[in-house]
Amino acid sequence: MQSRIKIGVVGLGYVGLPLAIEFSKKFITYGFDKSLDRIFQLQKNFDKNKSISKFDKKYLKKIILSSDFENIKKLNTIIVCLPTPVTRNKKPDLKLLENATKIIGKYIKKKTTIIFESTVYPGVTEDICVPIIEKASKLKWKKDFFVGYTPERISPGKNYKKISEIKKIISGDTKKTENYIKKIYSQIINAGLYLAPSIKVAEAAKILENTQRDVNIALMNEVSIVFNKMNISTREVIKAALTKWNFGNYKPGLVGGHCIGVDPYYLSHKSLSMGLNPDLILTSRKINENMSNYIFEQISRNKNIKKILILGVTYKENCNDLRNSKILDLIKILKKKKYNITVNDDIADKKEFKTLTDLNLVSLKNIKEKFDLIILSQPHNYFIKKIKLLLKLLKKNSYFYDLKSYVPKKYKTKNLFWEL
C-alpha cells in the first residue's frame, strides 16, 4: 500500500465504484456518494448496479465509504465520476458535475490533484470546473491545485472488459500532473496508457468515440429501413458486406444508454456555440431517436396484433441499466395506443421500471398466456438459452420481432420473424 497517496472517488455509480475498487487494491481509497442509501448498501456488501464481480466485492471493505465530503481534506487526489446527462431539450446538463466541483473546492487542501472522468465537451474541465474550484477554495490553479482529465471507457454488463483491460487516455494541466496521473493509473491499468497532448484533446476523444458509433449505427438504421421495404434481410446484407476487409461491423438497433445516445449532443452543443452546424451528427441523432416510432409503425400495420410480450428493457444486453433505454419509448407508445403489454426482464430493477412506466415486470415462469407478438429487445443470455420456450408463447400465425438479430436462423421458420 502506497501510503502517501490518498485517493477519493466522487460518485459510486457504474463508473466510480469499479474504479474505487481497483484503486483500493493499491492505495488508501475513499468512496464518496451523496446518496446515504447507496453508502449503506455498499457497506452491507450489496451493489444494486451489479457493476463489480463477486471476486471484487471483498474489496468493498477496503474502501472508506462516506457521504461526508469534509473527508476530502484528508486526501491529495480526487477523481470525479459523475453522470453528465442532457436536458429534455437535449442540452448538456452539467449541474451534478458543477455542484460536486464546488463541494470539492470547498474542502481541498493545497497541492491536491483533481482528475475528471465524466464525459464533457472540450473546455469544460479548464473553462468551467477550474474557475469553480478556484472560487470555492480561494486557491490558485497550477500553483495550489492541479487538474487532469482521463475519460471513462467502461462498458457496463457481463462479457465486457474490466477497467484494467481497457487502454486509458490520460491528460494533465502540467508535465508534473501528467506524470502523477500516469503513476497512479499505471498501478491499475494493464492495457496501457495513452498521454493526450492536452486536456481538451482528451475530452474531445471521448465524445468522438461515441459520436462515431452513433453516426455509423444511424447509417445502418437508415439502410435497414430501406432493405426492409425491399424485403431484404439487413443481417444477410451485413454478413455479405463483411467479406470485405475494411467494412465496419455496425448493426442497426435502438441506441440508448448514458453514452452513445448522449455524447453527440455535447459535441453538437459546442459546435453550435461556435456558429457551426453539425448536420451529420444531428441527423444521425434524429434517425436513432426515431427508431422506436419506426418499430411501432411496423406493429400498427397489423390489426391482428393486440397482445404483446416485450423481452428486455435495459439499454443493452446483460446489463441492468435502464438509463435512456429506447425500448421504454416504444412501451409508452404501445400503452398510449391501448395494446395489451406484458414485459419481462429479470436483470432490470423492478422498482425503477415501475417508476418509469407504471408497469410491473413479470417473471418468465409466471407467463402462461400466448401472444400475437413477441419483441426481443435485448438478447440477455437467459433469453437466448430459452429461445425454444419463448417461441412456445406465440400464438399460431403470430409474430416475433428480433430487434438485434440474435435469434439463430434455424428457429425462424414457424412464425413470421422481423428484424431491424
Tell me which residues are annotated as active site: 259
171 in Cβ contact with 149 (< 8 Å): yes
383 in Cβ contact with 390 (< 8 Å): yes
Largest separation between any pair of C-alpha atoms in the chain: 73
Any idea of the CA torsion for 386, 387, 388, 394, to the nearest 10 degrees? Answer: 120
Rounded CA separation 235/241 (Å): 10
Rounded CA separation 371/339 (Å): 12
Number of H helices, E strands in the chain: 15, 13
Three-class SS of residue 382?
helix
Rounded CA separation 80/16 (Å): 8
**C-beta neighbour count of 106 within 10 angstroms:** 16
**How far does Cα 378 stand from its chain's mean position?**
15
Phi, psi values for residue 307, rounded to 5°: -105, 125
**Which grid cell is 420?**
431491424
Phi, psi values for residue 303, rounded to 5°: -75, -10
Residues in Cβ contact with 309 at an 8 Å cutoff, skipping those fewer than 6 apart: 342, 343, 344, 367, 371, 373, 374, 375, 393
Burial of 113 (0-12, 13-18, 19+ CB in 10 A): buried
Q: Look up residue 279 and give its amino acid.
A: D
